[in-house]
Structure 1
Amino acid sequence: MKARPIRIALVAITLVFGAAGTANAAGCIKGAVVGGVAGHYAGHHAVVGAVGGCMVGRHLAKQRAQEQAAQAQ
């Protein structure tokens, strides 16, 4: 009975990390760790938290890079 949610989580992680690639990994690892811990404490949803944290971390890293590029010009 627990095998299906685990499979779904593994597929989601594979899709996120497979689509991210190495060039887009900035912020993903840190966000995934923070999101996973937060998700675990918010009702044992560590995988969902890690995926969400990865996306948020990547978004924030992209914004930070754009701001730094704008300041350099």
Structure 2
Amino acid sequence: MNAHLALPGVEWVKSSYSGPEGGGCIEWAPALATAHGIVPLRDSKISGGPVLTLGPGAWSSFVTAVRDGGFRR
């Protein structure tokens, strides 16, 4: 996690898995994923908070786990 990562002007996109009430949502920055090969993630409720960055392999594993229900309570 990088709490000091400055990403001015970056467009954040809310996860398509986010419910209509908001709740525990994440946002990611697809432009950086494409341009730099890193995938920044943040909590949508704390837009100025810490940012977690993943490499392509970790991002792929994370998306697969979410899609397969690996994080359901």
Q: Same fold (TM over 0.5)?
A: no
Higher helix share: 1
Point out the structure with max Rg over C-alpha: 1
Q: TM-score, normalised by structure 2?
A: 0.30
Q: TM-score, normalised by structure 1?
A: 0.30
